[in-house]
């Protein structure tokens, strides 16, 4: 998703966006946070109890615990032991609870994000997919989502607990000795500054790492998808080299991040040491002078460790946080990607759809190439057949894409049964159109699953009838597993002609009022093509058919033939009319019939 990761918004902005996204989980987040806080408080408490115990041993009847009403030292030790037991038990219980809560939250949130991202991506316009590689999208929906999951599994709790340590230990310090507190806290601003400095440095580096992961997975999926082409061009070595370059770019991006993150820990360690030594020596002096209770001194020394050492772990947590926020930004950016082709949900085309199609002054240009179509006027009465012919790249498929609202025209409008398609729901519009496109896509699964894709409840009789019309039944029947034969990924186990016939049968089974055949029979032999033409003529009587063909012999019977050239309709009429005009169609006909 190039261009997106350079987004300058900080990681905290990404966190705020994530929290907004996760508002449905507010109660769970609050519960998990509360358990993290309580666990940390229980975790700090034993250190305080050690101090209290020293106080008991040293001061006995005048100790702090004695002032609570436990007179003998034995009683005091016993009560401290009981308290220690409950504190440890409490700590264990809340550890269990926060682990469960955070991890469950991580699971739910990652599943939601992936699902939402996928569902949103499905709604996005075709132009979005043309500007993004599928590998990048897969990386976002898998790696980025997992990265966030890892942070929620442990990082979020660690961040909260560091904050609780600072506040709780700080409070104890200030109660016991404000002077030592100030000394012990002196390194904290440095540590926090270091953390932010690191965050600023590491943020863009991690964004770059995520970008490189995307590129790497994009290359992998493209290459594995195009393995036959690679082999046929014996390009294995070249491709291996290119993959190595992508891998290397990923390594280097990571190395930059590693250099920064590795420097952080030693620096923080020295700052921690300064704070610890200050408490240790100044507190010790004060205890010797008698201005600080011995027990309090013990508490301070132990707590300094509790306060400062976890901060060394902050580097790792911030590391995790930065990575997770770079990922979060990518996921949420994908979710925020605007949909330009708006669905008018709830406003279905008037049923039953008769299939009258009209293009009125339709113009459209692809933003990326500037190519497109201009001022197209076409009218196809319901039940008629329109053939679109013309040189390659003249804009025929573009007309179909506009009719399916893969894009919206920049000018003019398209109507079905007199209703502008922009004001109809995408469901009802696309439900009314059966498309057999040039690039046949079969899903991994059985022939039956592929054929019933547009009509999951079709009976075997209906499936067979559609397969017969598409001249696919004889070869399906000959397969050992018949309709249950697996077609392989993208239909690789079928021949090109078989794939086309399956795709045609799939569209026919949907039984749409408008059938679009874009070079639907280009990969079958002449005999099969003629047979398909005959069946199509039979079923074409009660539906509108729009066909695109290069072989003019297949469209001579169309009610209207429109010749498209450089994005415009330059001639239209019946076969005979166009021949009589002696224009572009006539010239093409001469070439194809060998009369030129
Ligand atoms: N997604 C796209 N982005 C940018 N340009 C595109 C896109 N799809 C098609 N084009 C361009 O638009 C023009 C019309 O393409 P279109 O696919 O409609 O032609 P066509 O007449 O169907 O060609 P063919 O007979 O070869 O299938 C071509 O110049 C093509 O390069």
pLDDT higher than threshold 80 for residue 51: no
Q: Are 410 and 310 within one domain?
A: no
- Cα of 398 from ligand 1 centre, angstroms: 6
CB atoms inside a 10 Å sphere around CB 143: 17
The span from the CA of 385 to the CA of 401, in Å, is 18
Quickly state the pLDDT bin for 596 (edges 50, 70, 90). low
What tens digit of pLDDT does each residue of 412-469 get? 999 999 999 988 888 889 889 998 888 888 888 899 999 998 888 999 999 999 999 8
State what percent of residues in the chain have pLDDT above 90: 31
Please tell me the residue having the least CA distance from ligand 1 atom 3.
Answer: 366
Does residue 73 belong to any structural domain of this protein? yes
CA 436 / ligand 1 centre spacing (Å): 16
* Pick from 302, 428, 337, 359: nearest CA to 572: 359
Residue 9 has a pLDDT of 54
Q: Could you tell me if 425 and 567 lie in one domain? A: yes
Question: Ligand 1: which residue has its CA nearest to atom 11?
Answer: 371
Nearest residue CA, atom 24 of ligand 1? 392
Q: Are 284 and 389 within one domain?
A: no
Give, as one character, the DSSP assignment of residue 140: I
* Same domain flag for 384 and 237: no
For residue 378, the cross-strand partners are 359
Residues 283-303: tens digit of each pLDDT: 899 889 988 888 888 888 888
- Answer whether residue 193 is part of any domain: yes
- The answer to whether the beta carbons of residues 268 and 191 sit under 8 Å apart is yes
Of 384, 386, 378, nearest in space to 359 by CA: 378
Residue entry with tokens 């012999």: 553
- Between 264 and 224, the higher pLDDT residue: 224
pLDDT surpassing 50 at residue 7: no
Q: Of all protein residues, whose CA lies closest to atom 26 belonging to ligand 1? A: 392
The CATH number of residue 427's host domain is 3.40.50.300
Residues 392, 257: one domain?
A: no
> Rounded to the nearest 5 degrees, what angle is found at the Cα of 386, between the Cα atoms of 505 and 388?
95
Of the residues 305, 336, 367, the one at which a domain ends: 336
CA of 426 to the centre of ligand 1 (A): 23
Residue 352 domain-assigned (yes or no):
no
Q: Closest Cα to residue 187, out of 164, 168, 170?
A: 170
Q: What is the largest CA-CA distance in the chain?
A: 121
Last residue of one domain, picked from the residues 268, 302, 336: 336
Number of other residues whose CB lies within 10 A of the CB of residue 265: 16
CATH number of the domain encompassing residue 307: 1.20.1560.10
Structure-token pair, residue 202: 């590491």
The per-residue pLDDT of the chain, averaged, comes to 85
Per the domain annotation, does 351 fall within a domain? no
Closest C-alpha to 517, from 565, 495, 541, 549 = 549
Same domain, 512 and 367: yes
Q: How far is ligand 1, taken at its centre, from the CA of residue 162, in Å?
A: 58
CA of 90 to the centre of ligand 1 (A): 68
564 alpha carbon – ligand 1 mean position (Å):
12
Q: What are the distances in angstroms from CA 258 to CA 53, 198, 253, 325, 437? A: 44, 11, 9, 17, 48
To test ligand 1's pocket by mutation, which of 387, 394, 435, 555 has the most ligand atoms within 8 angstroms of CB?
Answer: 394
Which tokens hold the place of 113?
């994000």
Atom 9, ligand 1: residue with shortest CA distance: 398
Q: Whose CA is nearest to atom 7 of ligand 1?
A: 366
One domain for residues 189 and 94? yes
CA of 396 to the centre of ligand 1 (A): 8
pLDDT band, very low/low/confident/very high, at 12 (cuts 50, 70, 90): confident
User: Which stretches within 60-155 are classed as H helix?
Assistant: 73-123, 126-131, 134-139, 145-150
Quote the ligand 1 centre to 373 CA distance (angstroms).
Answer: 10
Residue 326 lies in a domain: yes
Q: Are both 30 and 113 inside the same structural domain? A: yes
Average pLDDT, integer, range 380-384: 91
Position 319 in a domain: yes
Q: Which atom of ligand 1 is nearest to the CA of 564?
A: 21
ipTM for this prediction:
0.96
| Structure confidence at residue 322 (pLDDT) | 83
Q: How far is the CA of 393 from the centre of ligand 1 (A)?
A: 5
162 lies in the same domain as 236: yes
Nearest 10 degrees: CA dihedral of 370, 375, 380, 386?
-50
Cα(411)–Cα(528) distance, rounded to whole angstroms? 40
Q: Same structural domain for residues 278 and 391?
A: no
* Last residue of one domain, picked from the residues 336, 367, 398: 336
Peptide bond into 463 cis (omega under 30): no
The residue whose CB lies within 8 Å of the most ligand 1 atoms, and thus the one to mutate among 393, 518, 548, is: 393
Measured between alpha carbons, how far is 219 from 217 in angstroms, rounded to an integer? Answer: 5
Q: Please give the distance, rounded to the nearest whole angstrom, from the Cα atom of residue 553 to the centre of ligand 1.
A: 23
Domain that holds residue 417: 357-592
**Atom of ligand 1 lying closest to residue 130 CA:** 1
- Arithmetic mean of pLDDT, 509-535: 82
Residue 382 exposed, middle or buried by CB count within 10 Å (0-12, 13-18, 19+)? middle
Same domain, yes or no, for 45 and 179?
yes
- Around ligand 1, the residues with Cβ closer than 6 Å are 130, 366, 368-369, 371-372, 390, 392-398, 438
Together in a domain, 380 and 248: no
Nearest to 165 by CA among 267, 314, 25: 314
Tally of domains within the chain: 2
Question: In the predicted model, is pLDDT for residue 355 greater than 90?
Answer: no
């Amino acid at each position: 998703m190039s261009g997106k990761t350079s987004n300058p918004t900080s990681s905290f902005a990404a966190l705020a966006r994530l929290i907004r996204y996760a508002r449905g989980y507010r109660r769970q987040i609050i519960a998990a946070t509360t358990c993290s806080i309580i666990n940390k408080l229980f975790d700090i408490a034993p250190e305080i109890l050690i101090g209290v115990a020293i106080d008991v041993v040293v001061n006995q009847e005048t100790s702090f615990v004695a002032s609570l009403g436990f007179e003998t030292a034995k009683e005091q030790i016993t009560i401290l032991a009981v308290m220690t037991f409950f504190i440890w038990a409490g700590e264990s219980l809340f550890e269990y609870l926060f682990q469960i809560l955070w991890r469950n939250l991580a699971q739910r949130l990652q599943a939601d994000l992936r699902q939402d991202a996928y569902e949103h991506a499905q709604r996005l316009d075709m132009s979005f997919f043309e500007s993004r590689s599928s590998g990048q999208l897969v990386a976002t929906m898998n790696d980025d989502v997992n990265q966030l999951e890892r942070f929620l599994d442990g990082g979020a709790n660690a961040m909260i607990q560091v904050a609780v340590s600072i506040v709780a230990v700080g409070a104890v310090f200030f109660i016991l000795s404000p002077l030592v507190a100030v000394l012990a806290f002196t390194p904290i601003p440095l540590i926090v500054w270091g953390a932010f400095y690191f965050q600023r440095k590491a943020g863009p580096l991690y964004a770059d790492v995520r970008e490189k992961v995307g590129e790497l997975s994009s290359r992998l999926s493209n290459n594995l998808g195009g393995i036959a082409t690679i082999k046929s061009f014996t390009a294995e070595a070249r491709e291996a080299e290119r993959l190595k370059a992508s891998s290397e770019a990923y390594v280097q991006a990571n190395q930059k991040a590693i250099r920064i993150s590795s420097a952080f820990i030693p620096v923080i360690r020295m700052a921690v040491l300064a704070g610890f030594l200050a408490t240790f020596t100044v507190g010790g002096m004060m205890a010797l002078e008698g201005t600080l209770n011995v027990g309090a001194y013990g508490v301070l020394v132990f707590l300094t460790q509790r306060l400062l050492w976890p901060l060394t772990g902050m580097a790792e947590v911030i590391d995790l946080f930065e990575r997770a926020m770079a990922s979060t930004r990518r996921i949420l950016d994908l979710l925020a990607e605007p949909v330009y082709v708006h669905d008018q949900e709830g406003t279905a085309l008037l049923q039953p759809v008769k299939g009258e199609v009209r293009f009125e002054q339709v113009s459209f240009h692809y933003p990326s190439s500037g190519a497109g179509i201009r001022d197209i006027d076409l009218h196809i009465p319901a039940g008629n057949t329109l053939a679109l012919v013309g040189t390659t790249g003249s804009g025929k498929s573009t007309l179909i894409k506009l009719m399916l609202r893969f894009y919206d025209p920049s000018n003019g409008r398209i109507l079905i049964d007199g209703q502008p398609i922009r004001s109809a729901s995408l469901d009802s519009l696309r439900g009314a159109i059966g498309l057999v496109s040039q690039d046949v896509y079969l899903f991994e699964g059985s022939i039956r699953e592929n054929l019933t894709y547009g009509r999951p409840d079709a009976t075997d009789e209906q499936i067979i009838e559609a397969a017969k019309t598409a001249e696919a039944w004889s070869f399906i029947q000959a397969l050992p597993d018949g309709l249950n034969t697996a077609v392989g990924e993208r239909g690789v186990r079928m021949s090109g002609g078989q794939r086309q016939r399956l795709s045609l049968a799939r569209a026919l089974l949907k039984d749409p009022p408008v059938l679009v055949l874009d070079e639907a029979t280009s990969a079958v032999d002449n005999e099969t093509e003629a047979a398909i033409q005959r069946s199509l003529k039979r079923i074409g009587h009660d539906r509108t058919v729009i066909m695109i063909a290069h072989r003019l012999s297949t469209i001579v019977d169309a009610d209207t033939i429109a010749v498209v050239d450089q994005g415009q309709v330059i001639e239209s009429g019946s076969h005979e009319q166009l021949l009589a005009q002696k224009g572009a169609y006539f010239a093409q006909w001469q070439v194809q019939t060998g009369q030129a």
